[in-house]
Amino acid sequence: MNGSTIDVPTPDGVADCYLTKPDDDRTHPGVLFIIDAIGLRPRIEQMADRIGAQGYVVLAPNLFYRAGRAPLWETPSLGDPEARAKFFETLRPLMGTLTPATIASDGGAYLDKLAELSDGPVGITGYCFGGRLGWLIAAAYPDRVAALGGFHTGGMVTDGDDSPHLRAPRVRAEVYWGHADQDQSMTPENIATLDQAMDDAGVHHTTELYEGAQHGYTMSDMGAYNEAAAERHFAALFALLERALPR
Q: Residue 78 has what pLDDT?
A: 66
**Residues 16/69, Cβ–Cβ less than 8 Å:** yes
Which pLDDT score is estimated for 245? 96
pLDDT, tens digit (0-9, with 9 covering 90-100), for 218-242: 999 998 999 999 999 999 999 999 9
Helices 100-117/129-140 angle, 10° precision: 80
Residue 98 sits at the vertex; the CA angle it makes with 20 and 172, to the nearest 5 degrees, is 70
Decide: 15 and 35 in contact? Cβ < 8 Å: no
Angle at 164 between CA 69 and CA 205, to 5 degrees: 105
Distance (Å, whole) CA 31 – CA 147: 9
Distance CA 171, CA 185 (A): 22
Res 112: pLDDT: 98
Question: Is the pLDDT score of 79 beyond 70?
Answer: no
Instruction: Note down the domain range covering 183.
Output: 2-244
Residue 52: name the closest of 83, 86, 25, 29 by CA. Answer: 29
CATH of the domain at 210: 3.40.50.1820
Q: What is the pLDDT of residues 12-62, one digit of tens each?
A: 999 999 999 999 989 999 999 999 999 999 999 999 999 999 999 999 999
The whole-angstrom distance between residue 191's C-alpha and the CA centroid of its chain comes to 18
Q: What's the total number of domains in the chain?
A: 1
Distance CA 98, CA 160 (A): 17
**131 closest CA partner among 42, 4, 228, 240:** 240
Q: Higher pLDDT residue, 183 or 77?
A: 183
Closest to 155 in 3D by CA, of 186, 112, 197: 186
